[in-house]
Amino acid sequence: QPEYQPEFGIQMQVTVQQIEAALAQDSKIKAVLLTSPNYYGVAADVRAIADCCHAHNAVLLVDEAHGPHLGFSELLPPSALQCGADACAQSTHKILGAMTQCSMLHVQGARLDLQRAADVMSLLTTTSPNYLLMASLDAARAQVQTYGKEMAAAAVQAAAKLRSLCAAYSGLRVMETADCGGLQLDSTKVTVNFAAWGYTGVEVGELFREARVAVELVDAYNVLFLVTYADVTTDYDEALTRIAAVLNKMQAQKRAPLQLAAAAKVPQTQAVLPLRDVFYRAKKAVPLAEAAGKICGEQVSFYPPGIPVLLPGEMVTEEIIAYCRAQKELGLPVSGPADSSLQTIRIIAD
């Protein structure tokens, strides 16, 4: 369970202590899957976790979807491979210049069988790849290999302009490294908390979009801006001007501060059935309000940030139901269930 940052109301990272406890409790664990950095740019202590995994003869696999730009500059956190991970998957299309759907799987060391990895990939990939995507993937690779340090510096500098702009407004809080509990932060992810002004992140995101400002993520209390090496143009400067206009208008219409509700914290879950068993079991839909004590038959995530509140085979609790209601009231879209309104949820039928 990721640690919780109550001042921003967001999930942070799992700790090396949690990993150590899990590995010490079950010697059969062969691999650890870690998401780092998270959507907000908070990077786990990957180096310490890698050392811990290897000490227990387990491999470390990192979902580094939001970190394909890491490792090219000391201005950013180190990459998973630099920290000793055995493999990582990167979404090259998220922050670098590849087309949508382009990603890479990186493997290092001798702990993983490359032939086995190739065999598994062959089950999942097509024999007719899209060469436009492959070409754009290679072009993005060549670009970052050649200019990665300069690109990182440009992104950090552009993000600093936005950070400075938002931090100048009394009451607004911009996430900094000091808010990350000793972890490193990718400074190109600019998270701004509007709770003191009485606005939810969903409301603020809509105001920015109406002003033609791209917002990457909204949640209960925050808005996340994603700044990249491409944001060094006059268009970016114009966007900063539009952001300032929105903030000026909001500042003049401040409301009573929002209380950071415990409902923002993703509840702890309990697995009851293995995923394979759930897949083959009969399921039925019941009203969400009546699902407490039942075994969930589908995945439920609110996106963003996309952390599943329920996976198939986990027990539905009153706390989880309350969390789902709170997220729905905020207007966050739900992903996964057959009923996208989440009026009903599928559970194990027998």
Q: What is the predicted pLDDT for the residue at 332?
A: 85
Q: What is the predicted pLDDT for the residue at 263?
A: 58
How distant, in Å, are the alpha carbons of 2, 38, 95, 159, 189 from that of 226?
22, 13, 9, 8, 5
- Quick check: 278 and 262 in contact, CB under 8 A? no
Q: Tell me yes or no: is domain 156-251 CATH 3.10.129.10.
A: no
Spatial CA neighbour of 298 closest among 347, 225, 237: 347
266-348 fold: Ornithine Decarboxylase; Chain A, domain 4 (3.90.100)
Q: What is the predicted pLDDT for the residue at 106?
A: 96
Q: How far is CA 123 from the centre of its chain?
A: 27
Q: What is the predicted pLDDT for the residue at 333?
A: 87
Regions of the chain short of the pLDDT cut 50: none
pTM: 0.93
Q: Where do the domains of the chain lie?
A: 4-144, 156-251, 266-348
- Quick check: 86 and 107 in contact, CB under 8 A? yes
Options 2.60.120.10, 3.40.50.261, 3.40.50.1110, 3.40.640.10; CATH for 4-144 is 3.40.640.10
HSE toward the beta carbon, residue 67, CA cutoff 13 A? 32
Q: What is the predicted pLDDT for the residue at 331?
A: 84
